[in-house]
Structure 1
Amino acid sequence: MRAKGILPTFHECPYCHGKKIGRIRRGLYKCYQCRKEWSRRRGSKLEKYRVTLQKVLLAVKLFELETSVRKASHQLGLAYNTTYTLYDLIRKTILHLTTNNNRFSGEIEVDESYFGGRRKGKRGRGAPNKIPVFGILERGGKVRVEVVDDVKGDTLLNLSLKKVKRGSLVYTDKFRSYDGLVSYGFKHERIDHGLKFANGKVYINGIEGFWSFAKDRLMKYHGVDPEKFPLYLKELEFRYNYRNSDLFDVVMRQLKM
């Protein structure tokens, strides 16, 4: 069964550390020294959930397939809120894979984009009611994205310092917030969208491809609570970085941790 390993194996009592333990009924253990009982889910990420392992497995599969919560709740035979909570658990579980502190190096593409509902009026930089997101892509590697308060030079340059090694070659557009990259110790090449889209290696097609990838998928949600948006954004970062992997297996490995 693929769920094997999600739940811990008990060799002693978690309360008194006694060795005289046994299963008294399905899913429940007992210590014959201190007389305490506990669930086999104790200490696992599923400890607080009263959903069968089979349904957890199916929920992970439906999440991998980008099935909506409403459709998944029907297929699982669970209430909408229960299914939503399971999806939320999965998103928080894979968040661990997006918090790597290793800094990117080599050839890097940097850009910022804006997320939010479709509204009339100004779009792009400075548009009201939009959430600014900063993105960094390591060519031949992964992407990292983060919600930011603003796209001022200090904000973007400080994030670049945290996530990219000095000496790396950074490609950006001509936005003035990137003016200080060289003084921060980076090599810097700019692309001018008004003149040409790509000039040899001077392009940011990779990070712009991620923006399209992310926005296409967010459209399916028909709106995301702004408070939850950072979690959904990290899910999209995860899906993009592991798009050539078996997402089911990746999520299952994280649930076992």
Structure 2
Amino acid sequence: MKAKNRYDRFRILIAHYLEEKYNEHAGNVQEFDEYFYLERSKKRNEKTIFDVRNFLTFDYGGKVYNILMPSLRKYRTHLLDDGMQREYYKQLARFITFRRIARLNHLDNTIVKFWRFFESHIKKYRGVDEEYFFYYLKEAEFKFNYSIAEQKAIIAEIPEALL
């Protein structure tokens, strides 16, 4: 099995594991907020607004869980054909600035710490295809939530047949 295939399989298994853990503790959500991610190289280019990845982050007992929202890419061609990309870019920037769906108790919280961790973690991949982004997000979530020793123990519990 190629190394990439093995890592992809780990990411899928990790995503399932994180889903189970969150479902066990979903009633314990303490805070939540919405995050917009766009690679640094694309941040000042108004033609890349449809590359923004949006996810909701929940804090349940000091651990995070993320829900990746649907991509806007499927609307890209239709909306850019009308020549209004500058207006869309301005509207998105305004929305990001003024939207508030958050319930945060303080500004220096687990969610913000995760976002910083995620930004640092995802950089090393130098761009992730849309179809795999969810799994890289879950990998970051797993690494943020569990120490290296805990990660090893969790992976050791996965039946060999699934690896």
TM-score range, shorter chain: 0.5 to 0.7
Structure-1 separation of matches of 2:45 and 2:111: 22
1:236 to partner: Cα distance:
1.0
Structure-2 separation of matches of 1:235 and 1:137: 16
Aligned: 1:248 with 2:152: yes
1:241 to partner: Cα distance:
1.1
Aligned: 1:216 with 2:145: no
Per the alignment, in what secondary structure is the counterpart of residue 139 of structure 2? helix
Aligned residues: 131
Structure-2 separation of matches of 1:104 and 1:211: 22
Over aligned residue pairs, what C-alpha RMSD do you find?
Answer: 2.9
Q: Which of 42, 49, 58 does residue 119 from structure 1 map onto?
A: 42
1:134 to partner: Cα distance:
1.0
Q: What are the equivalent positions in structure 2 for 1:1-257 lying under 5 Å apart?
A: 49=1, 82-100=2-20, 101-102=23-24, 103-105=26-28, 108-117=30-39, 118-121=41-44, 127-138=49-60, 140-149=61-70, 176-178=99-101, 201-203=105-107, 205-243=109-147, 245-256=149-160
TM-score, normalised with respect to structure 1: 0.44
More helix by share: 2
Please say if residues 115 and 130 of structure 1, whose CA atoms lie closer than 8 Å, have aligned partners that are also in contact: yes
Please say if residues 98 and 238 of structure 1, whose CA atoms lie closer than 8 Å, have aligned partners that are also in contact: yes
TM-score, normalised with respect to structure 2: 0.67
Instruction: Say which structure, 1 or 2, has more relative contact order (CA 8 Å, 6+ apart).
Output: 2
1:234 to partner: Cα distance:
0.8
> Relative to 1, partners in 2 of residues 1:122 and 1:205: Cα closer, same or farther, differing over 3 Å?
farther
How high is the sequence identity, in percent, across the aligned residues?
A: 28
Consecutive aligned runs of 4 or more in structure 1 exceeding 6 Å deviation? none
1:112 to partner: Cα distance:
1.5
